[in-house]
Structure 1
Amino acid sequence: MRRREWLAGACALPLAGCAGSDSEVTGTLLGASAERGHLLRDPRAAQAPSATRRVRVVIAGGGIAGLAAARALRLRGIDDFVILELEDTAGGNSRAGSIGGIACPLGAHYLPVPGDAARDVQDFLEETGVRQRVAGRWVYDERHLCHSPQERLFFRGHWQEGLLPVQGVGASTLAQYVRFARLVDGVRKQAAFSIPAPSVAPAAHLALDSITMAAFLSREGLDDPHLRWYLDYSCRDDYGAGTGAVSAWAGLHYFASRHGFQPPGADNGERESVLTWPQGNAWLTQRLAAPLGERVKAARVVSRIEEGRSGVEVDGWNALTQQTERWQAEHCIVAMPVFIAARVVRNAPAALAQRASQLHYAPWIVANMHVREPLRDRPGAPPSWDNVVYAAKGLGYVDARHQSLDPRPAATVLSWYCAPGEASRAQVLSRGWRDWLGDAQAELAPAHPDLMSKLTRVEVARYGHAMAIPVPGTLASLQATARGQSATKRLSFAHADWAGYSIFEEAFTAGHRAGLRVA
């Protein structure tokens, strides 16, 4: 999700008020190209094509789903395809940046070790060497597993290990932690949760899908403020919206689809392992894109997809040449967000328009902050990969150098994440990088008062429609518009939007299956 020249406009901000500092910080705005996306409304995008090319398959969209579809085609020996990608590089919400020679994520920054239901993802990790068979069992390369310490929470003036508030909480809080853990175990036994989620949801899941997570917690008498904060944080972290917006199915799926919820003192041998890299999930997308070469056509704004009797026509505005190109293909894999696909697919299946009308999208902000030396630390748990401040508006930061094997203190990049809420989309696109830096500074100042005095550069990535929010009714609407019903003879649809929530495993599996479907 990286750099766009149209957003670049680096400016300098004197560090006024930083005691004894005469340095200055520079900054810029990056992220998804709203300007290119809005070309769909521009008459230029509908002009007659300057050239027509033929190819067997067009993949419209180069995010996780589009790249996975390309991999599936290649595994089948199909090489006559192109990917038309809006941005300058493929990767969708899993692209990378670099500040001062330090790689950093512009979006998604980790992948939980996939379970057995995500077999296609496991195969890909095997292909990259991340997953290997050793002495008869599968193991993951420790260089790619998140190093310890993994996460900590700034709570009551101290850093504590883990993100669940435990330092000094009362017996009633601990009791509710245990109750919630039992509740998660209960719903797991009632109806299995998995990633990817099954295309036909069990009745128990549909019941949970009918109410918000907040309403569900109230119904269960779970009102402890520390538990409620943690669960709200978890939903904002995974879905870009809190417990008052996402369904109870989504809120429970966060835990039940993996290793449950572990209350303090629980020791059942289960701990979720996480794969991560300095550049985040771009490490994965870069390996998906590397074999494709010139088949990835960047800076293309797909403006029309139309299925005919003998093939599919795809028109794309080339932002570099300022001309429309036409591609004629036997098949098109539409690996675009559903709200965009509904605009560009002519005579679209009813399921596409229906799905688009029901989706809500969360905007996101990722502020990568380069600091010239380590920050001073408050007492408690040591610096970790994921560092969160209790009750903050944002979601904390990850340290790009955490995976480094060099123990010497050095400059690093702190990637601060914020999901400001669906109602903030206009603000996301109108605010400057200084404004977002101000929010990050305000959030982190209690834990790191020296942040501004050591900051050298800030690059803020903005996403107006970063991910689908699994609001109540999401599963029911998917049930009514089953994923397979949206496909036609020559069109396949592949995107995490068709799962109702946005994670790597769902997007990858959707793309892989679409690639297998091409005749």
Structure 2
Amino acid sequence: MKRRDWLTSTAASALGLAGCSRTMPVLEGGFEDASFERGHLLHENPRRWPAPAVSRRVGALVLGGGIAGLAAARALRQGGVDDLAVLELADQPGGNSRGRELGGLACPTGAHYLPLPGDEAREVQALLEELGVRRREAGRWVYDEHALCHSPQERLYQNGQWQEGLLPSQDQSPTTLAQYQLFARLVDTEQKQNRYAIPLSRQSLSPGQLALDALTFGQWLNQRGLNDPALRWFLDYCCRDDYGAGVDQVSAWAGLHYFASRHGFQAPGSEAAAQAAESAVLTWPEGNGWLVERLAAPLQGSHRGGPLYTGRLVLRIEDQRQAVAVDVWDVAQQRVERWLAAHCVVALPVPVAARVQAAAPDWVQATALRWQHAAWVVGNLQLAAPLTDRPGAAPAWDNVVYGSTGLGYVNAAHQRLDPRPGPTVLSFYSALGLGHAARRQLLEQPWTHWRDQLLKDYLVPHPDLLAQAQRFSISRHGHAMAVPVPGTLAHLTRLPQRAPARTRLGVPAVLAEGRLSWAHGDWSGYSVFEEAFTRGHEAGQHAVLQLRGRVPS
């Protein structure tokens, strides 16, 4: 495949979806980013890689420029390590948190928000203070109003109209409301009996949580008679949105962690529900790409072309006697480079890390075999003007159709200060589920297939969608996130602990061996910003200590 496969087609050919036969304006579109195809060079095009054409030496080497890799580089710089390099496969850092521009308008190609970090996410809090997003005023923490998601935040399209919030609440039966209340009580009990925290490495795990880890969320709900269709759809949506898979695939621990680690669950009409409606998240037109730009900026200087090197495919990692040797494929120069480093932070997805490391430790290989990843598609649609709306709640930042297999769209213009209506970009999300079949679809289906899949549910609530559409860009994420299926938590507790004596049952914060340390959201078993950032920060700090001789190699 070419790096950018821009094609054209008519909206009418796209949509037998709408039963529309009239010819519509040409809709330009295609796939965005080349890292999907580059990654497959490791196994789909087996070849004898040439000998290294150039050799480079560096003090600290970070492999992967996603959130974990960028956090590791930041921690290294804070520790006084300037002799470092970050190698990234794509042309742009950020991984699943990248942003882009479409028609001159910023929009996300992956993660689009960050919940206000809790007390345990100290490193993320410090980052937000550094960036001016969070500050102390009169003894309390205040967040920049420009970054807080503007109201209204969420709405749901159901029964021909929009409602505020995503929990189906209009004209619900007494049975549905009773199940909402029961689930709220169960979550509240779980929060009181067990401690839930993000990042995961900061909490002690109870036997009860490990028992929840042994069954699916769907099984746990069935055991308690929670079978109402509206509640089950909402809970399935939440799991697909946060984990990439539904209630019948993620563990009961993960399903409860979604609520218990943050804001709980509030039944409609309760006082807590009114307060939760105002719960805040941080977001920007380009989503978490705003954070990526600021994390990457110090790495993009003129010194040696800057310590951030894009278009690098890691081929092999070996911890040798004197240094870590890393061979990479330079996409632009079409040659192999050898990097020699005193310490290497492997901020790669677990399956990739296990594949490219020579004599990878058993626990790395075992994790790679056990972990399951969800495939995602994100589509950005450029619109000439705001869309016509159905009755009900006003246009919101996050907009979802009840019963849809997709995850809705966010409006990139929602955070603008200019109130005048104008062109915008809608970002559509869909989690395709687990397994090779989903990833094979990503590779084989044309961009028009994903366009149709993402747009089909929105032609009824927005009848002029096609008339306003100008361009559609598709971003594919084959291994978007590790999915916390049953057994994930138990496996994490068996990873090597660096502490001399284990005083609690928990998940290790630092994974290191020899001159290597591992940092990626995968090592928490699920993918959120706080997990990836904290793991990268911890790995970077460990590298600083080793480079200073305070930790043996």
Q: Same fold (TM over 0.5)?
A: yes
Q: Residue deviations 1:116-173, cap 9 Å, x none?
A: 0000000000000000111121111111000000000001111000000000111111
Residue correspondence of structure 1 range 270-285 to structure 2 within 5 A = 270=276, 271-285=278-292
Q: 1:182 to 1:32 in 2, by over 3 A?
A: farther
Pick the aligned partner of 2:4 from 8, 17, 41: 8
Which residue number corresponds to residue 50 of structure 1?
53
Contact 2:195 2:205 in 1 (8 A): no
Tell me how far apart the structure 1 counterparts of residues 481 and 393 of structure 2 sit (CA, whole Å). 32
Secondary structure at the aligned position of 1:382 is classed as coil
Which residue number corresponds to residue 337 of structure 2?
325
Tell me how far apart the structure 2 counterparts of residues 22 and 183 of structure 1 sit (CA, whole Å). 51
The gaps in structure 1 that reach 5 residues or longer are none
Contact 2:10 2:23 in 1 (8 A): no
Larger deviation: 11-20 or 343-352?
11-20
Pick the aligned partner of 2:480 from 442, 445, 466: 466
Q: Residue deviations 1:386-426, cap 9 Å, x none?
A: 00000001011000000011111111111010012124221
Tell me how far apart the structure 2 counterparts of residues 340 and 466 of structure 1 sit (CA, whole Å). 13
Residue type at the aligned position of 2:176 = T
Tell me how far apart the structure 2 counterparts of residues 440 and 286 of structure 1 sit (CA, whole Å). 27
Which residue number corresponds to residue 343 of structure 1?
355
Residue type at the aligned position of 2:284 = W
Pick the aligned partner of 1:391 from 403, 427, 439: 403
After TM superposition, give the deviation of residue 350 of structure 1 in Å.
1.1
Residue type at the aligned position of 1:476 = A
Residue correspondence of structure 1 range 94-493 to structure 2 within 5 A = 94-198=97-201, 201-268=205-272, 269-270=275-276, 271-293=278-300, 294-422=306-434, 423-482=437-496, 483=508, 486-493=511-518
Contact 1:349 1:486 in 2 (8 A): no
Tell me how far apart the structure 2 counterparts of residues 484 and 383 of structure 1 sit (CA, whole Å). 41
- 2:510 equivalent to 1:507: no
After TM superposition, give the deviation of residue 485 of structure 1 in Å.
8.1
Contact 2:29 2:473 in 1 (8 A): yes
4+ aligned runs moved over 6 Å, structure 1: none
Tell me how far apart the structure 1 counterparts of residues 124 and 348 of structure 2 sit (CA, whole Å). 20
After TM superposition, give the deviation of residue 19 of structure 1 in Å.
7.7
Contact 1:45 1:324 in 2 (8 A): no
Tell me how far apart the structure 2 counterparts of residues 272 and 304 of structure 1 sit (CA, whole Å). 45
Tell me how far apart the structure 2 counterparts of residues 273 and 207 of structure 1 sit (CA, whole Å). 32
After TM superposition, give the deviation of residue 20 of structure 1 in Å.
6.8
Secondary structure at the aligned position of 1:12 is classed as strand
Tell me how far apart the structure 1 counterparts of residues 187 and 11 of structure 2 sit (CA, whole Å). 47
Contact 1:45 1:317 in 2 (8 A): no
Task: State TM-score, norm by structure 2.
Answer: 0.91
Tell me how far apart the structure 2 counterparts of residues 501 and 118 of structure 1 sit (CA, whole Å). 16
- State the superposition RMSD in angstroms: 1.5
Contact 1:7 1:28 in 2 (8 A): no
Q: Residue deviations 1:87-139, cap 9 Å, x none?
A: 00110101112111111000000000000000000000000000011112111
Residue type at the aligned position of 1:10 = W
After TM superposition, give the deviation of residue 305 of structure 1 in Å.
0.6
Q: 1:45 to 1:233 in 2, by over 3 A?
A: farther
Q: Residue deviations 1:310-339, cap 9 Å, x none?
A: 211011100000000001111100000000
Which residue number corresponds to residue 501 of structure 2?
none
* Identical-residue share of aligned pairs (%): 55
Residue type at the aligned position of 1:6 = K
Contact 2:251 2:486 in 1 (8 A): yes
Tell me how far apart the structure 2 counterparts of residues 275 and 344 of structure 1 sit (CA, whole Å). 36
Secondary structure at the aligned position of 2:32 is classed as strand
Secondary structure at the aligned position of 2:200 is classed as coil
Tell me how far apart the structure 1 counterparts of residues 251 and 21 of structure 2 sit (CA, whole Å). 47
Tell me how far apart the structure 2 counterparts of residues 485 and 342 of structure 1 sit (CA, whole Å). 17
Tell me how far apart the structure 2 counterparts of residues 335 and 442 of structure 1 sit (CA, whole Å). 37
Tell me how far apart the structure 2 counterparts of residues 425 and 184 of structure 1 sit (CA, whole Å). 34
Q: 1:457 to 1:357 in 2, by over 3 A?
A: same
Residue type at the aligned position of 2:403 = A
After TM superposition, give the deviation of residue 13 of structure 1 in Å.
1.2
Residue type at the aligned position of 2:7 = C
Contact 1:31 1:463 in 2 (8 A): no
Q: 1:380 to 1:19 in 2, by over 3 A?
A: farther
Which residue number corresponds to residue 503 of structure 2?
none
Contact 2:33 2:90 in 1 (8 A): no
